[in-house]
Amino acid sequence: MKLYNSLTRRKDEFQTHTPGHVEMYTCGPTVYHFAHIGNLRSYIMEDVLEKFLRYAGYDVNRVMNITDVGHLASDADTGEDKMLKGAKREHKSVMEIAQFYTDAFFSDCEKLNIKRPDVVQPATGCIDEYIKIVSSLLEKGYAYLAGGNVYFDTSKLERYYVFNDHDEEDLAVGVRDSVEEDQNKRNKADFVLWFTKSKFEDQALKWDSPWGVGYPGWHIECSGISMKYNGEYLDLHCGGIDNAFPHHTNEIAQSEAYLGHPWCPQWFHVHHLNTNSGKMSKSKGEFLTVSLLEEKGYDPLVYRLFCLQSHYRKGLVFSWENLDNAKTTYEKLLKRIAALKPEDGPVDQAVVAEYRQKFLDQVGNDLNTSMGITALYDALKAKTNDATRLAILADFDQVLSLDLLSKAEQLRQQAANQAKTESAGGYTITGEGDPEIDALVLRRAEAKKAKNWAEADAIRDQLKAMGIELTDVPGGAMWKRV
């Protein structure tokens, strides 16, 4: 497999420290609000990457943090802690906010068929690990105390800006123009490893440390959690492209200074989901969530397909028109699969193996998911029987996770139920194959036949209250949920 490496800025042959085994780390959410679909694009693509690695024969240990403390409003160690901001907004405790939005995040992931990582660790559960690392960095001279806080000294490194070719002067203080310089820093690129109460008197979560009561900086959390669960040698680190600097840059700096050897050779960054007005973000109010998609009648897997149709290293523009196109594509694809006959002959394993190798080659070229979608159509056109076509599709869906066969089977069952819903008197009911609804429709027909108009009207009102729209047609009735 070849994968683009943000560190080398080229497609490299994927290699691991231990042959056949992948230690994988994913930057998880800061759980102060719902995840918007731009955030979730990264998690969809990381999910596909993990599943493809397993599909290709690797054993994978994937670790994800949950940031429930230490992530400030600016990535450059200024502003309010995002968790405290969420707690104030909703008049709840920080931990109540953290639990609620952690649950909401994984609920969204489940709807999008994103597999839960092997290890999920809230940042507040590894305080001892951070203190151990910070203490070592102070002893080695890579960190210093100033204004009550502990800072990492970037001037001690031969190279700090590992993800770009910028000179130090090219990067503004605190990353963003609106951020004021921290006067405690010796160098403008230095970053906080541990905050004490000298930084925020009202910080909700605080722990004892050798430097005073306080809490960890955002960057140290990922290093500490990864080292605890992935070990000293990480094979693959994932995240959104906006995390490359300063977050991932700082992770590398502190981790390699602490360990004394290279830490993670392969970095995988997913690019932004944009709207027509620019990058999607919570602060702009462009707050599109999975729940909103559902309210508007979209299956969340339509959004997954929308993401898979594009390459992860390209910006993706969201619009309702584009999502409608993905919905049409998904529905047509399911109908084509539903038309296949599962009992049509034995599965030809040689043909399945042939198409599996093509899929490995195509998607294995820098996680080319658009070619993975093309492979589905190639399978539908394969010169073989339907049972073999379905086996190929099931094989590919281990990676794509679009529920192709199960949803196609639902369509088959609906069609079968519609075909057999006919009363002895020749009255045909066309609907979604729900026996309870069909029985009510038939009772209404019998009431009308007996000229019992009051009962017929009562049943129609009952169906309407159940969200059923009923239409009389020659020789029967049609119903649908609205």
Task: Write down the pLDDT at residue 75.
Answer: 56
**Short-list 382, 328, 318, 332, CA closest to 353:** 382
* pLDDT per position as a tens digit, 50-65: 999 999 999 999 999 9
Q: Which residues are annotated as a binding site?
A: 27, 222, 247, 251, 282
Distance CA 379, CA 104 (A): 36
For range 68-78, the mean pLDDT: 69
Task: Write down the pLDDT at residue 176.
Answer: 39
Task: Write down the pLDDT at residue 166.
Answer: 44
pLDDT over 70 (residue 162) = yes
At 455, list the tokens: 């009962």
* pLDDT per position as a tens digit, 290-309: 999 999 999 999 999 999 99
Which residues of the chain are in CATH 1.20.120.1910 domains?
293-409
Distance CA 376, CA 382 (A): 10
Q: Which residues of 351-382 are buried (b: 16+ CB within 10 A; e: fewer)?
A: bbeebbebbbebbbebbbbebbbebbeebbeb
Q: Name every residue whose Cβ is closer than 8 Å to that of residue 479 and which is 6 or more positions away in sequence.
A: 429, 430, 431, 432, 437, 441, 463, 468, 469, 470, 471
Distance CA 358, CA 177 (A): 48
Phi, psi of 251 (to 5 degrees): -60, -45
Q: Which residues are annotated as a binding site for ATP?
A: 282
Strand partners, 195: 215
Question: Rounded mean pLDDT of the chain?
Answer: 90
Q: Which residues are annotated as a binding site for Zn(2+)?
A: 27, 222, 247, 251
Q: Name every residue whose Cβ is closer than 8 Å to that of residue 385 and which is 6 or more positions away in sequence.
A: 344, 345, 346, 348
Phi, psi of 30 (to 5 degrees): -90, 115
For range 203-226, the mean pLDDT: 92
Q: Do 241 and 269 touch, CB atoms closer than 8 A?
A: yes
* Distant-in-sequence contacts of 155-163, Cβ < 8 A, 24+ apart: 155/186, 155/187, 155/190, 156/257, 157/253, 157/257, 160/189, 160/249, 160/253, 161/245, 161/249, 162/7, 162/249, 162/252, 163/6, 163/7, 163/244, 163/245, 163/248, 163/249, 163/267
Task: Write down the pLDDT at residue 435.
Answer: 77
Share of the chain above pLDDT 90, in %: 73
For range 141-150, the mean pLDDT: 95
Q: Do 398 and 55 touch, CB atoms closer than 8 A?
A: yes
Task: Write down the pLDDT at residue 429.
Answer: 81
Task: Write down the pLDDT at residue 178.
Answer: 40
Distance CA 470, CA 482 (A): 10
- Beta strand 149-152 with 191-196 is antiparallel
Distance CA 12, CA 24 (A): 17
Distance CA 179, CA 186 (A): 17
pLDDT band at 201 (very low <50, low <70, confident <90, very high): low
- CA 165 to chain centroid: 29
For range 102-108, the mean pLDDT: 97
pLDDT over 60 (residue 403) = yes
At 216, list the tokens: 């960890």
Domain 293-409 = CATH 2.40.180.10: no
Task: Tally Cβ neighbours within 10 Å of residue 344.
Answer: 13
**Short-list 214, 208, 170, CA closest to 188:** 170
pTM here is 0.85
pLDDT over 70 (residue 174) = no
Q: Is 9 exposed, middle or buried (0-12, 13-18, 19+ CB in 10 A)?
A: exposed
Return the residue matching tokens 């190929």: 392
Task: Write down the pLDDT at residue 131.
Answer: 98
pLDDT over 70 (residue 455) = yes
Number of residues assigned to the chain = 482
pLDDT over 50 (residue 195) = yes
Which residues of the chain are in CATH 3.40.50.620 domains?
2-270
* pLDDT per position as a tens digit, 238-273: 999 999 999 999 999 999 999 999 999 999 999 999
pLDDT over 90 (residue 354) = yes
Distance CA 309, CA 302 (A): 11
Quote the DSSP letter at residue 78.
Answer: -
pLDDT over 50 (residue 28) = yes
More confident residue, 443 or 256: 256
Task: Write down the pLDDT at residue 428.
Answer: 80
Distance CA 399, CA 445 (A): 48
pLDDT band at 200 (very low <50, low <70, confident <90, very high): low
Task: Write down the pLDDT at residue 241.
Answer: 94
Q: Which CATH class is domain 2-270?
A: alpha beta
Task: Write down the pLDDT at residue 473.
Answer: 86
pLDDT band at 104 (very low <50, low <70, confident <90, very high): very high
